[in-house]
Amino acid sequence: MTLQRLHPESPAPVLKAGQPRPRIDTLDCARGLAVLGILLLNLVGFGLPKAAYLNPAYAGQPAFADALTWLLLNIFVQGKFLAMFALLFGAGLQLLMPRGKSWIRARLTWLVLFGLIHGIFFWEGDILLAYGMIGLICWRLIRDAASAAALLRTGLLLYAIGTGLLLLLALSAGPEPTAFWQPGPAAIQYEHLWKVRGGWEAWRNRTDLVGGNLMAMAVQYGWQLAGLMLLGAALMRSGWLSGAFSLRHYRKVALWLIVAGLLIQTPTALAQWRLEWDYRWAGYLLQVPGELAALPLMLGYVALLYGFWPRLSRITGFLRAVGRMALSNYLLQTLICTTLFYHFDLFAQWNRSGLLLLVLPVWAANILFSMLWLRYFRQGPLEWLWRRLTTLAATPQKEVR
């Protein structure tokens, strides 16, 4: 396949601390797509017990509508938009290289703090903490990589290691389901209690869950996350994520990657349904091909967006606004969903298919908030705070090294 570049790759401009960098519209658009796409699965995490996220049969065999909803989300959504967000995070790290190590360290350290606050006091499904911690490792690898090809190879290797570790966990797992996969009625009732009641009990439980997430990141997930970030940096350095290739190229790549991903993901999801989400298979082993499929599908979605960018001006305008305020919109989703499910006691009152009815209203809130805010301000409120705190903490430097 011929790669037709629209313009040669040029060195990134040297930016001073606090100085805004030029926006890349396609990148903002992809970031907006990732933020909105994440909600499709996060709603399950907000509105149902944590076991429901991966196991639709956590409380017995689901109704057909719920099983079908799980199937569609598993094939097209689960893991894909989280992977896309990690990819774009790595691309952002590549763009930040000219600011210098002090700026990058300060920015990522503040993100770790935001993640801790979000994960402990608001919602245990936080991703900011993991992104900040892995980012503090990855930015040096990105800085020191000799070329985009070297970054690409390292990223793929790290992702393969993470997937291989998941396979090892699957092979070593016992036959009996864990409490996370198949909690008892008392555990579900207790989770309902502390989430709705809030306060110290909720903070304590969320602290434990955040600690468990950090352990999972260290053992397995962090390898994949680091790999995705390096892939994003490689694709940004090569010009692929900045839209430097032809529309024809992106469309061809989208077709091949999406078909390849679906050929892996679809039979995997159908097998889980056929096996009635048996823990020995669906709990670990059949998650492995799902992780393999997430990579081509996620890249295929990005390529599809880039390939049809000029024809989707109205939609991409909305996505671009959401993407420019990705952090604010991600936390706005938490604010809306925790208010609905915890403060109005709607937790575990909706089934999986019913939760999809809330997707469009929350998306509308993200889009409306972004469009109105950006009429008057250049960046989102939390983006402004994040940059301000970073500027105060960072020591100005002329070079990355």
The residue extents of the domains of the chain are 25-393
**pTM (2 d.p.):** 0.92
Q: What confidence score (pLDDT) does residue 21 get?
A: 59
Q: What confidence score (pLDDT) does residue 310 get?
A: 80
Cβ-based neighbour number of residue 401 at 10 Å: 7
Both tokens assigned to 365 = 């809130």
Q: What confidence score (pLDDT) does residue 22 get?
A: 67
pLDDT in single tens digits along all 401 residues of the chain: 333 444 333 334 444 444 455 679 999 999 999 999 999 999 999 999 999 999 999 988 999 999 999 999 999 999 999 999 999 999 999 999 999 999 999 999 999 999 999 999 999 999 999 999 999 999 999 999 999 999 999 999 999 999 999 999 888 877 788 888 989 899 999 999 999 999 999 999 999 999 999 999 999 999 999 999 999 999 999 999 999 999 999 999 999 999 999 999 999 999 999 999 999 899 889 999 999 999 999 999 999 999 998 888 788 899 999 999 999 999 999 999 999 999 998 999 999 999 999 999 999 999 999 999 999 999 999 999 999 999 999 866 544 44
Q: What confidence score (pLDDT) does residue 113 get?
A: 97
